[in-house]
Amino acid sequence: MFGFLKGKNKEFMIGSPVKGKAVPISEVNDPTFAEEILGKGVALMPEDGKICAPADGELSMVFDTLHAFSMTTKDGVEILVHVGLETVRLKGKGFTAHAKAGDKVQKGDLILTADFDVIKGEGLDTIIPVIICNTDEFKEVEALAGKEVNVGDDVLRVSPK
């Protein structure tokens, strides 16, 4: 009878861009992320340097310094994946891009590789915040932290208004 409601209020699941451990965003040692200034999210303590698309969508930006990328999912969720803290100052050292802005990507597609030995060698943190930049457009953004994850495993639940 109410078939027209089907598909409305469907939650969007955002996957992990990396193999590792999902932790609350509050554990990130940077107030911009920990205090959710850019939006709600989750953080990953990576086990390897393969950084993948957390959802299907289009890459909005791959930063020139290769330390981060942003994308918009087919459902309109704007995601920022930031590899490490203060890694912008490496100016691309230790990073390789495998995709570019404008590319259509599928969840799990390789976007960047990061050499964590290089990053750690510079004394930098390798934690990876994953932020929903348009948090205000959704009813709720919930981190699914406190667990080991593989690429693509659900780490964020986004509920539409």
Residue given tokens 């509920």 in the structure block: 159
Among 82, 90, 126, 158, the one annotated catalytic: 82
Known active-site residue 82: yes
How far is residue 111's CA from residue 115's CA, in Å, rounded to a whole number? 14
Residues with catalytic roles: 82
